[in-house]
């Protein structure tokens, strides 16, 4: 029984890492679909919604069964309760990547992005994918130091996000309101994706240290 309990806990941890990997892949392909107006890739990204949602529901069911049948305490309980938050963050990260792909699909065959913001979004995509990749490592290694480092990484994303406002608010912005509205929404999706990686990092710090920290709201 004890062994099966440990196996269950390990399963829960590796499922989180797997979900994080799916969110990373979705973000990478959503960004590529956005930058290249690739309809097939946008569709493929959108179709990753179901496996991510299924994993999330299964994860919750397994965690619930573990709490009900094993009544974990201390570190094991923290790990399960943190996981309940983390699974929601990871699912949302997948959802945000899919929102990006949906916008690429909606505007196809047109490109969503005017040429002068393509570089910013390529960089936002790179930062987001890096953050998801580091988040997976944090989850696998339960590494509080790496998690603390990840918390500071969203400064790069915030800076990129601000640069979008500067571009679209310039008096000589030549691409009109509709393009600016799309860019505003996309910028928000990338920024929120990044925020969720930071939330996961905070939860891992709690898991490891037992210290509660208030979430940013």
Binding site for a copy of itself (CB under 8 A): 49, 52-54, 56-57, 60-61, 63-64, 67-68, 71, 73-74, 77-78, 81, 84-85, 88, 91-92, 94-95, 98, 165, 168-169, 173, 176-178, 180-181, 184-185, 188, 212-217
What 3-state class would DSSP assign to 1?
coil
For residues 11 and 16, what is the distance between their CA atoms, to the nearest angstrom? 9
Nearer to a copy of itself by C-beta: 145 or 215? 215
Nearer to a copy of itself by C-beta: 143 or 182? 182
Q: Residue 175 carries which DSSP code? A: S
Residue with the two structure tokens 């490109």: 111
Nearer to a copy of itself by C-beta: 36 or 166? 166
Exposed, middle or buried: residue 126 (CB in 10 Å: 0-12, 13-18, 19+)?
middle
Nearer to a copy of itself by C-beta: 107 or 137? 107
Contact 94, 48 (CB under 8 A): yes
Q: How far is the CB of 192 from a copy of itself (least distance, A)?
A: 9
């Amino acid at each position: 029984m004890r062994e099966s309990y440990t196996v269950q806990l390990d399963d829960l941890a590796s499922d989180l890492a797997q979900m994080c990997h799916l969110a990373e892949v979705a973000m990478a392909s959503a960004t590529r679909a956005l930058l290249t107006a690739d309809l097939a890739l946008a569709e493929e990204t959108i179709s990753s919604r179901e496996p991510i949602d299924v994993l999330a529901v299964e994860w919750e069911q397994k965690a619930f069964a573990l709490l009900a049948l094993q009544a974990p305490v201390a570190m094991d309980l923290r790990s399960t309760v943190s996981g309940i938050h983390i699974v929601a963050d990871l699912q949302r990260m997948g959802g945000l990547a899919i929102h990006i792909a949906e916008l690429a699909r909606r505007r196809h065959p047109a490109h969503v992005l005017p040429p002068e913001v393509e570089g910013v979004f390529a960089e936002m995509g790179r930062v987001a994918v890096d953050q998801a990749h580091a988040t997976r490592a944090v989850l696998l290694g339960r590494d509080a130091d790496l998690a603390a480092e990840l918390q500071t990484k969203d400064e790069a994303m915030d800076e990129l996000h601000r640069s979008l406002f500067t571009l679209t608010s310039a008096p000589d912005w030549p691409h009109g309101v509709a393009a600016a509205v799309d860019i505003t929404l996309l910028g928000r999706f990338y920024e929120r994706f990044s925020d969720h990686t930071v939330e996961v990092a905070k939860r891992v710090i709690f898991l490891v240290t037992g210290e509660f920290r208030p979430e940013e709201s």
